[in-house]
Amino acid sequence: MRVTTLAALAVCHENLYEAATYFEDAIGAYEEHCDQASALDADGGKISGSDISLLADLNATAAMVHYHYAGNLLARNYWDEAKTVTKIALGLAENSSMPAEDLQQYIHELWLG
């Protein structure tokens, strides 16, 4: 929920630099959640099917956060960073409930738009 809220704030923010802060916070919240899931798995905790489904949905959300963050970086002329973030978005989409083709189309529009 925190990832989605921070991402929504970033997308709605008019100031690109302040929006970037929200994107970075959303990505940090996503990474925290992944770290917690990894710790549970490392401790021998069982991960249920619903947990896996939740992580797949969270990965889809994170893919879109990275996609929008890449757009923010492009708007601020951070080309190399935007390329890196775009690659992360594609990787997340591959490990999510989102069809990778959808994100690829969004990225095509972002870069060639």
Mean pLDDT of 88-111: 81
pLDDT of residue 47: 66
pLDDT of residue 2: 87
Separation in Å, CA 110 to CA 34, 43, 71, 106: 27, 41, 7, 6
Say if residue 80's pLDDT is above 90.
yes
CB atoms within 10 A of CB 111: 13
pLDDT, the chain, mean: 85
pLDDT of residue 36: 74
Task: Delimit the domains of the chain by residue range.
Answer: 2-112
With CA atoms as reference, report the closest residue to 32 among 71, 69, 66, 58. 58
pLDDT tens, 24-62?
999 999 999 887 777 666 666 666 666 667 777 888 899
